[in-house]
Amino acid sequence: MCGITAAITLNRSSSNGVDGTNGHGTNGHGTNGNGTNGHGNGTNGNGTNGHGTNGNRINGNGTNGNGTSGHGTNGNGTNGRNGHTNGSNGTNGHNGVNGHGKKHAILRQQLHKSLETIAHRGPDASGIWISHDGSIALGHRRLAINDLSADGEQPLHSDDDKIHAVVNGEIYDHDAIRERCIREHGYKFKGHCDSEVLVALYKIHGAPGFFEHLRGEFSFVIYDENDGRVIVARDRFGIKPMFWTYQGEGADKRILLTSEMKGFSALGWEAEWNVHGLLSGTAMQVDNTVFKNVWKLNPGTWMEITRDGEIKHQKYWDPQYKDKREIETRTSDEMIEGVRERLINAVRLRLRADVPVGIYLSGGIDSSVVAGIVTKLVREEGIKLGNQDATKRIACFTIQFPETSGFNESDIAERSAEWLGVQILKKDMNETELANNFADAVYHAEHHNFDLNSVGKFCLSTLPRQHGVPVVLTGEGADEHFAGYPFVLPSFLMEADYSWPESPLVQNDIGRMIMYKEMTDDIKDMFDRIGMFETETSSNPASTLRLEPEWNAFVPWVRDTYKAPGFGDPALSPEVLQNMLMKWHPLHSTLYAYTKGPLANMILTCLGDRTEMAHSIEARPPFLDHHLVEYVNNLPPSLKVAFSETPAEATGTGASLWWKDLSAARQKLSEKWILKEAGKPFITQELYERRKHPYSAPLKWPRGGPMHKMMTDLINKENIEQLGFMEWDSVSQWLEEGFGDDAKPRAFRKLICTASWVVLSQRFGVKKATKEQSL
């Protein structure tokens, strides 16, 4: 796990020799230790590589490109690749190479400052590698999880020193991959870090061939000297981030890459609002961000940058679903066992680490199933949680909101922990905590939100760190693949599931459509209660995912320039649209949209990586193991949402604002049915019978309290006018409506969104938006 920064000059066709050769590497350490295994690189053009040792600055036996051997001559001095210094900015000397000394020094300084801004992603070590001609620069901050020695530090280099990489994330089953690479291909590894197998797999299989061997969550940048290509990629679901932007013109034009957009600032980037993106709902856009000309790399996609500057985006993986026209021949018991087997294996793989591993446990079924499986593996198979002592209790972490809020479920988590016999550690979230941490949570998320959930998760992630647990397992991804969200239920009823003929709904179209209408009204009523969207102006539950205030809250030039926008759907290819029309059941089409939109661009960022890595916590979601997902996607819709003629009781809803006065249609449907059946041995009866209750932070707060004070400090006329795109009259009205006993949840959500923009404006120094700048 780490943070990445990279700068890639686009036009490198005029580079010396073999694209600049091996360059200048530096490594610093966040803790005291000894630099080891340094590799000197003193070549220019087609020269050979010199190899230093013991992390010392050693002149490698470089050549000057014409076959003449020299030792540090013609400016070709080299660096020990893993030189050690105390602190996070250790370097091992820098030598000018053929007149590039000043350019390298400036670039190195820029990368070092950039890495400092994302140091929270990797407090254990820092490393920089720059190619000989300065056209490629790779920077890395390390959070040491596997192979805690200096051998696991980055940037990484292939065994022939021709491939260089920085990797963020985890590659699972890396021991087996390593053994196979050694046995079948004779690859020579330098250490035992999981990221090194990615470099080996690329050398052996190339791109895109090596992607099929990668199992886990990752983003990375690879530079291949052999053909001058740069390969940038992101995992299948977007668990790990990767942002990119352009900088400069002509021969100096380059692409900047980083794990967090704040990393661009030290490289000369200046933030500007992406006003059109804000209007269309940036969280739902696959590659959109709040900032102009900054993009996310799409999940399941790799970007190739050729030596002459050509950029290609190619997809290596995308969710596929069962053909709705094919009748299922497997029994429900077979499929339940298939889910259980794959889920257990996904959890087992994610317990491997050289540090302690814990669990985020909520009151829901997803994280509880994970906790139950972990307990089984530890007690029955003797599997360790990372390097944790087998006698130590399994540590679970949960969040506790005020009991009167209608959103607290820590008592359910506590009962689950007691049933499993595991340790439960609570983070008490009161109004003061939420208000005090709001700005920092927004800064790390680099995005607005419509509730305080990300603030709660940001605070929760301090807890594992306090207890010396840098890795946690989480439950993200289950709802998007097992149909756990209440608002996907109407899509299940839109069309009969002919792949499962035994469903009573197959033979009762009239009854199904009556239920569809009832269910749609039910969802709209629920969203009205929690303020998710204006029910009087929207009949599409999907519109609840738009995270910006209503249209008339924007200033006139915005409304005149962009006109009224529609709901921003994820980018859908012609192939996907054809599948949605002809091949996939509507439920699966909806789950695809949620996987590509909210999951990748909100849940895994604002509620995942960004709030966790802000405190140097690596989170691992077993439900997003692609072997499990591919199996689940090919199950009949009727096993994800089960229908029963007999209405079920609304067990476990309690005081939840999500479910009150359930319709008859809602009581006949059971979401995530097959997950409940597969997970039944690992959870309490209470959870097995409980309705879906999404993790949520409270929405109502008193006037004059910490939350009200925080909002009024951020949201004032001066700050709103500095944004350049919001009307103060509308915003001030929300301040009146958003607090007190009669507060409107929708108004409070608008305030959260607007306050987030103010925080980003101040923390990033964003220029005031104007019509001219926005076009």
3-state secondary structure of 170: strand
- Which comes out higher in pLDDT, residue 80 or 165? 165
Confidence check: pLDDT of 43 > 60: no
Alpha carbon 361 to its chain's center = 19
What are 282's two structure tokens? 């940036």
Q: Give the pLDDT score at 681.
A: 97
Q: Give the pLDDT score at 649.
A: 52
What is the Cα–Cα distance from 218 to 66, expressed in whole angstroms? 40
Reported confidence tier of residue 275, pLDDT bands at 50, 70, 90: very high
- Structural domains of the chain sorted by starting position, each given as residue range(s) with its CATH number in brackets: 2-315 (3.60.20.10), 332-483+591-689 (3.40.50.620)
Q: Give the pLDDT score at 53.
A: 33
Cis peptide before 636 (omega within 30 of 0): no
Q: Return the percentage of the chain with pLDDT > 70, whole number.
A: 81
Confidence check: pLDDT of 381 > 50: yes
Reported confidence tier of residue 44, pLDDT bands at 50, 70, 90: very low
- Which comes out higher in pLDDT, residue 537 or 361? 361
Residue-level length of the chain: 775
Instruction: Determine how β-strand 254-258 pairs with β-strand 243-247.
Output: antiparallel
pLDDT in tens, 646-692: 765 544 444 444 445 667 888 899 999 999 999 999 999 999 988 76
CA dihedral 577, 580, 586, 592 (to 10 degrees): -70
Q: Give the pLDDT score at 405.
A: 56
pLDDT in tens, 538-561: 444 344 445 556 778 999 999 888
Confidence check: pLDDT of 64 > 50: no
Phi (first) and psi of residue 591, to 5 degrees: -65, -35
Please give the sequence-ordered ranges of beta strands (E in DSSP) within 89-208, or none if there are none.
125-130, 136-142, 156-157, 163-171
Q: Give the pLDDT score at 663.
A: 76
- Mean pLDDT lowest among 123-132, 243-252, 256-265: 243-252
What is the Cα–Cα distance from 740 to 493, expressed in whole angstroms? 39
Confidence check: pLDDT of 239 > 60: yes
What is the Cα–Cα distance from 351 to 364, expressed in whole angstroms? 21
- Categorise residue 491: left if φ over 0, alpha if ψ from -120 to 50, beta otherwise: alpha
- Least Cα distance to 129 among 267, 261, 6 occurs for 6
* Cβ contacts of 358 within 8 Å, gap of 6 or more: 385, 394, 395, 396, 397, 464, 467, 469, 471, 472, 473
Cβ count near 775 (within 10 Å): 8
Question: Could you tell me which residues are beta bridge partners of residue 471?
Answer: 357, 618
Confidence check: pLDDT of 622 > 80: yes
Q: Give the pLDDT score at 72.
A: 36
* Cβ contacts of 515 within 8 Å, gap of 6 or more: 493, 665, 668
Mean pLDDT computed over 252-263: 96
Cβ-count burial 491-514 (b if 16+ within 10 Å, e if not): bbbbbbbbbbeebebbeeeebbee
Confidence check: pLDDT of 705 > 90: yes
Q: Give the pLDDT score at 708.
A: 98
pLDDT in tens, 743-753: 998 899 999 99
Q: Give the pLDDT score at 693.
A: 62
Q: Give the pLDDT score at 407.
A: 61
Q: Return the percentage of the chain with pLDDT > 90, whole number.
A: 69
Question: Could you tell me which residues are beta bridge partners of residue 231?
Answer: 222, 304
What are 488's two structure tokens? 């996907």
Please give the sequence-ordered ranges of beta strands (E in DSSP) within 333-481, or none if there are none.
357-360, 395-400, 423-428, 471-473
Confidence check: pLDDT of 535 > 50: no
What is the Cα–Cα distance from 656 to 720, expressed in whole angstroms? 34
- Which comes out higher in pLDDT, residue 486 or 709? 709
Confidence check: pLDDT of 515 > 90: yes
Q: Which helix (H) or strand (E) holds 324?
A: none
Q: Give the pLDDT score at 100.
A: 59
* Cβ contacts of 310 within 8 Å, gap of 6 or more: none
Reported confidence tier of residue 143, pLDDT bands at 50, 70, 90: very high
Q: pTM, whole model, 2 decimals?
A: 0.88
- Least Cα distance to 508 among 665, 677, 663 occurs for 665
Q: Give the pLDDT score at 648.
A: 59
- Mean pLDDT lowest among 157-166, 342-351, 664-673: 664-673
3-state secondary structure of 672: coil
Mean pLDDT computed over 108-114: 96
What are 693's two structure tokens? 């209750």
What are 163's two structure tokens? 């491939």
Q: What is the mean pLDDT of the chain?
A: 85
Q: Give the pLDDT score at 725.
A: 96
- Mean pLDDT lowest among 347-351, 397-401, 430-434, 664-668: 664-668
